[in-house]
Amino acid sequence: MKKMATVLPQKPQGTYSFVSQPRTVQHRKKFRDQQQLQQEQQNDGSLQGQYANIMYDRRIVRGNTYAQNVLPTSALTNPLEVQRQQETRRRNIAKRRAKEHLRPKTVEAVEGRKHQDVQTELYLEELGDRVEEVDAQCQTDPFLDRPASPLFIPAKTGVDAATQIYDGDLFDFDVEVKPILEVLVGKTLEQASLEVMEEEELAAMRAQQKAFLELRNAELVETQRLEEKERRHREEKARRMQQQKEVLELEVDTSQRVAARAFAQGYLSDLVPSVFSSLTDSGYFYDPVERDLETGFMVWLMERVEVNLRDAALGRAMLDSIIRDIVKTKNREFEKLEAANIVDAP
């Protein structure tokens, strides 16, 4: 809209022109409110924000412009005239105000109350802000579709032939449908009863199977119980037999031990005296004093005797060597003497 306003050609200053922004149409109210009224008076009758009829707008020049009665410029320049006009206008306004002021008004409300508008007519009327309007509609008939082109039937040629059909010659639906329907219904019922019977048979078989399973399970449990009992008995029997066997073995063992003991006793009763005698013979039983004498004293005595004998032998040897020495010296002296005698003698 604004663009449109700017596009408007700019008229030269000389001629009269009026430009206005485009505006949306405002909703007209049924009643004018007070504020609007005052504004209107100030604006000197021209409605602000509302379109006025352009035909009566004072700002728009109408009629032939050549014959336009142009106001003399000199008349406006007269200050006295201007002043008088202004005064007249002011007086008019003042008079209107005074008139309004003089109108009788409702008395001011008492303190704590306020005035309220009330309808006093005989019939209560609903007062609304909306302008009452009437809608009227009119709908044209829709265009009808083009009807399908009728089937093209070529013009009849040849000779007509006709057949006379009597009653009962043609297919009678009500009669003919009966066997077909009977077959259909019969077949369906047969199939249905077949399926129902099958289901019933299955259910019966299931029930029988269940009863059989019930018996089978109970019997199976009973069998297993008896088997278990049998196994326990067998184990018990084996254990008892094992125990008996152990007892028997123990008895045999004991009797053997007793026999062995008796035999050993019999055997050993003769053995002791002979052993003692042979031991005594081999000198295993001895007198300790004698043994001490033999082992301790006799050894010492022999040693001492040996020492004494060795000393005696040594003394004798010494004496022998002394004697030999003496004899040797005597011999030599005798020899010397013999020699001397021989010499002397002769």
Contacting residues toward another protein, per CB under 8 A? 151, 153, 191, 194-195, 198, 210, 214-215, 217-218, 220-222, 224-225, 227-229, 232
Residue 227 or 251: the one with the smaller Cβ distance to another protein is 227
**Least gap, CB of 217 to another protein (angstroms):** 5
For CA atoms 89, 95, 98, 100, the dihedral sign is negative
User: What single DSSP character describes residue 297?
Assistant: I
**Least gap, CB of 210 to another protein (angstroms):** 8
Residue 29 or 206: the one with the smaller Cβ distance to another protein is 206
**Least gap, CB of 215 to another protein (angstroms):** 6
Residue 230 or 306: the one with the smaller Cβ distance to another protein is 230
Residue 229 or 240: the one with the smaller Cβ distance to another protein is 229
Residue 191 or 341: the one with the smaller Cβ distance to another protein is 191
**Least gap, CB of 271 to another protein (angstroms):** 58
Q: Name residues whose C-beta falls within 8 Å of residue 25's C-beta, 6 or more positions apart in sequence.
A: 51
Locate 187 and state its tokens.
């077949």
Residue 71 or 148: the one with the smaller Cβ distance to another protein is 148
Q: Read out DSSP for 31-89?
A: S--HHHHHHHHHTTTPPTTSPPPGGG-TTS--S-STT--PPPHHHHH-HHHHHHHHHHH
| 17 CB-contact burial (10 Å; exposed 0-12 / middle 13-18 / buried 19+) | middle
Only one residue has tokens 């008349």, namely: 75
Locate 108 and state its tokens.
């001011």
Locate 341 and state its tokens.
């005698």
The letter for the amino acid at 146 is R
Residue 95 or 232: the one with the smaller Cβ distance to another protein is 232
For CA atoms 98, 103, 108, 109, the dihedral sign is negative
Q: CB–CB of 129/29 below 8 Å?
A: yes
**Least gap, CB of 189 to another protein (angstroms):** 15
**Least gap, CB of 144 to another protein (angstroms):** 25
Distance CA 9, CA 11 (A): 6
**Least gap, CB of 214 to another protein (angstroms):** 4
